[in-house]
Every structure is written in structure tokens, then in C-alpha cells.
Amino acid sequence: MSETMKAYVYHGPENMSLDIVPKPKIQEPTDAIVKVTTSTICGTDKHIRHGGLPEVEPGRIIGHEFCGVVEEVGSAVTKFKPGDRVAVSCVTQCMECYYCRRGMYSQCVDGSWIFGYMIDGCQADYVRVPYADSGMHLIPEGLTDEDVLFVGDILSTGYYGAEMGRIQPGDTVAVFGSGPVGMCAMATARLWGPANIVAVDIDDSRLDFAIRNGWADMGLNPNKVDVPEALRAMTEGRGADVTIEANGFEPTFQGAINSVRSGGTVSIIGVFETPQTVEMNKLWIKNITIAMGLVNANRIPELINLIKAGKINMKPLITHTLPLSKVAEAYDIFEERRDNAIKVVLKADA
């Protein structure tokens, strides 16, 4: 008789449930089995819940941002042993293919094994981690799960957005979408020394939150001001040097494109469900770079160093913590933004 566990399973659009499923087993010598101690609900999970990412197949266990304790390792895993506390990258990486050798782990040809998407995820008691040696990162002594929880996804995604933006010291950076990913982009944009980080969102409370935590210097609400106009007014008529789209919807996409200066960079990390129109007839002459992509998650060790050194602290994003057994309620809190929910964290059931 095989052992069982609890897991939150996608059965089709608007149909997820906490089920009893078989506990995962080592399948390849490079696998590890991790007991999930802390996981999150991500914006991408909302897209999956509503059927917006049809490549996710019914029966898939959801969740891709987590920390845990190594339970068991395959025979080829050399860096970890049972009992190690780890933060885990949301994209798995073989380290041998064309893309992995170039640091583009998100494009790994060995399956694009993204947790809770192409393979079973972490909103469960246990998860199987392929290529454990490269995807897992030891949590330093003295740091909690919550300290490093976001390195596996949203903090790496925010960093990737800032990195693609090629920010220069003294720049004005505008981040469209002040959700958790947007706030991670603001916090990491600081690493390049911009003069001004501008948060853009229709929710004033989120703008205030980003400023209060030191991630943004100021906020703009598109329902109250003409954002491209306001950014031009701040930059001698030019527009933002870098815009980061962190939402995945038409208004933020257009805002990011319309607010960047000539020669600037639009960096897109939002997850889109629908095609977008780019007015090439107006844009071609402006020498704008539009960059986009799925997180490479290739800077997790450096992000952990920055957290350990007190240079980055995204813990204030955690507004709600629930046990895995209440995962359905946790999704509702997250989606309804109940009590100003920003990031909802799931803890292992005692």
C-alpha cells in the first residue's frame, strides 16, 4: 500500500480541491523528495484556477513557490541530505542543455519542468524536486522560511524584470502593477541605483504600501492622473528610462509602452492570457527595446546573500498565513484581496 498525502489539485477551470493523493516517490537518481513546510499562492495560480493557462492539465498539483525539509534524495544527489532546509526554484534545470549552459534555466529543454504547471507542485505535504542539486538552495542558519520564501519565484521574477530593464544609476524606473511581483521588481531595481522608482497601480493602498516599505519612491494612480504625462513631467519631457510591466493586462502593458522614453527599455514580466497590440507604426522610430520572459531564477544564491545581509526584505508582503488544510479559503482571501491581502502563505499542517 502506497503512502498518501494532502495536495491541492487542478481538475479544470474553476475546479480545484484538496485531495488525498499518493505521496511522490524518487523517479530519477537526480530527484529529491521535499516535505513542504511553507508555500505560497501566486498570481499565476489565479490564472490556472480560472483556466487561463490551458496547458496545465487536470490532475496537476498546483503551487510553485516554497521552502521545505529534504526527506529523501536520489543516488545522484550530492549536495543535499535528509534534514536539510531548502528554498526551491520554481523552474527546474538540468544544467547540461543548450539553455542551461547559458543560464536560461526557464528554457531548459528537459521538459520546462515548472512546478504546479508542467509537473506537480508544492501546495501539498510533499513534492518531488527534479535535478535537486541545481534547483534547491540551502537556507542559511538563522534565516526562516519566510525570510527566503520568495527567492524561488516572485523575488527572482522581480529581479529578472529589473535586470532586463538595464537600469542605469540615476534612472527613473516606473513599475506598472503594484502586486507582489511588481513590489519585488521595485525592491530589486534599487540594486542598480535608480534615482526614482515609481509605483503605478489603481489601488492607492498598494502604492502607499510600496512607498512605506521603501520599495518605491512615489506612486501614480492611472485613475487619477495621466501616468505617461506625469512621468514625462518628471523627466524633462522624455518619459521613464525603464518601464517594467508586472501585471499581464492590456492597460498596464499599454502604460508601460506609452511611458518609456526614446531609447529606453520596456521589461515585461506579467503573465498574459490574451494577445496585445503593439503600435509599430508609432514605436519603430523611438528605438525602444521591449524585453520579456519567464524568470530564469539564476540569481537565487545572490538574492539569499542580499536577504541575509539585510539589503532586501520582502517579508512585509506576507499579509495572511493559513494551514494547507485551509488552502481553498486562502485562495479566496488572495483573490478577493480580503483585508488588503497581498501575499497568502500556506504552512504545513501540524
Contact pick of 33, 88, 91, 100 for Zn ion (by CB under 5 A): 100
Interaction residues for Zn ion, span 275-294 (CB under 5 A): none
Residue among 130 and 228 whose Cβ is closer to Zn ion: 130
Stretch that binds Zn ion, among 106-114, 122-130, 282-290, 336-344 (CB under 5 A): 106-114
Neighbours of 237 (CB within 10 A): 8
Interaction residues for Zn ion, span 150-179 (CB under 5 A): 153
Percent helix, strand, coil in the chain, to 5, is 30, 25, 40
Assign 21 to helix, strand or coil: strand
Residues near Zn ion (CB under 5 A), total: 8
For the bound state, the minimum distance from the C-beta of residue 117 to Zn ion, rounded and expressed in Å, comes to 9
- 206: Cβ contacts below 8 Å, ≥ 6 apart: 178, 179, 199, 342
Residue 30 touching Zn ion (CB under 5 A): no
Contact pick of 94, 220, 260, 317 for Zn ion (by CB under 5 A): 94
Distances (CA, A) of 119 to 24, 64, 77, 196: 12, 10, 20, 40
Dihedral angle, C-alpha 57, 127, 111, 18, nearest 10 °: 10
272 and 248 Cβ atoms separated by less than 8 Å = yes
Contact pick of 18, 53, 97, 290 for Zn ion (by CB under 5 A): 97
Residue 44 touching Zn ion (CB under 5 A): yes
Interaction residues for Zn ion, span 108-147 (CB under 5 A): 108, 110
Residue among 97 and 202 whose Cβ is closer to Zn ion: 97
For the bound state, the minimum distance from the C-beta of residue 95 to Zn ion, rounded and expressed in Å, comes to 6
Spatial separation of the C-alpha atoms in residues 341 and 339, rounded to whole Å: 5
Which residues of the shown chain bind Zn ion in the complex (CB under 5 A)? 42, 44, 94, 97, 100, 108, 110, 153
